[in-house]
Amino acid sequence: MQVRALYRHPIKSHGREAIERVHLTQGQTMPWDRVWAVTHEATKFNADQPAWASCHNFMIGSRTPGLAGIWATLDASERAVTLTHQNLAPLTFRPDVAADVARFLDWVAPLCPASRAAPTAIVAVPDRGMTDSPYPSISIMNTASHHAVADALGVEITKERWRGNIWLDDIAAWAEFGWIGRDVKIGDAVLRIREPIKRCPVTNTNPITGERDTATLDILNSAFGHQNFGVYAEVIKSGDIALGTKAEVI
C-alpha cells in the first residue's frame, strides 16, 4: 500500500485542500483539519467554554449542498484561509478575526438556502479539530473502494466528495473494513483503525458544482449492503507521511 492523496479541511464543511506531506501527532487530528466550524442559528455551543460538539450544531453539506463546491487554501503562518467556488469571487480572510468573519458570512450567504438555518459565526476548540467523531480522528479512504462505487453508479465521480484525509492505493476494494481494531503503519506514523464511517447525503453532492447529482447512498446500500465508506483512525504513534509513503497493516 502507499499514500495516493492527502487532504485537510481547515473549516469544517467549507472547502478541502490537497497537500503533499504532513506530520501526524499521537492523539491529535490531522494538522489544520476542521480547526474551525461555522455555527448556525440553532447551534448549541458555549463559546466561553469551547468543547467538541456534534456536526448538527454546525453548517454542513448534508443540509446545505452548495457548501460542497468550496475549495480552500490555508496560510498557516497567518491563520488565513482562501475560499473559492465556481460561482463566487475568491475570499481570503482570517477566521479568528470578527471583521473578517463578517465578510465570510456575506460571501457564503448565496450558497445557503433560505429554508435552512443561516450561518452566524465561526468557532474553534483549543488543540482539537472538529471531526464528526467525538474522539480526534483521521479518516482513511481506499481508492479501490471509490472505483467500486463509481462502477456501480455507472458514472465517474471525484474522490473529494468523500472528504477524506488519507487515501491509500494498491489494496483490494473494501479491505479497510477488515482492519477495524488493527493498526496501520504509514511511514513512521501508526494509526489504530476504530470504526467504519457511516455516510450522509453530502456524498450525493458534486464537489465542483455543489449540486446533488448521484445516488451514492442508494448504491452503497443496494450494491454493497452498507452505508459506509472509509474508516476512522486514531494516531497512536507520531510520524511524517507524504504522497507515495508506504503503508502496511501490522
Residues 95, 165: Cα–Cα separation, whole Å:
21
Give the per-residue pLDDT at 115: 84
Burial of 128 (0-12, 13-18, 19+ CB in 10 A): middle
Give the per-residue pLDDT at 63: 86
Burial of 52 (0-12, 13-18, 19+ CB in 10 A): middle
Q: What is the pLDDT of residues 92-138, one digit of tens each?
A: 999 999 999 999 999 999 999 888 889 999 999 998 999 999 999 99
Give the per-residue pLDDT at 146: 98
Residues 37, 53: Cα–Cα separation, whole Å:
10
The model carries a pTM of 0.95
- Domains present along the chain, CATH in parentheses: 2-9+18-26+133-249 (2.40.33.20), 32-124 (no CATH)
Give the per-residue pLDDT at 132: 94
Q: Which three cell numbers stand for residue 111?
A: 450558497
- Residue where the block lists cell 513512521: 188
Give the per-residue pLDDT at 114: 86
Give the per-residue pLDDT at 240: 97
Residues 38, 13: Cα–Cα separation, whole Å:
8
Residues 38, 20: Cα–Cα separation, whole Å:
26
Find the Cα–Cα–Cα–Cα dihedral 24, 3, 175, 189, rounded to 10°.
Answer: -30
- Pairing verdict, β 189-198 and 119-124: unpaired
Read off φ and ψ for residue 159, nearest 5 degrees.
Answer: -70, -15
Weakly modelled stretches of the chain, pLDDT under 50: none
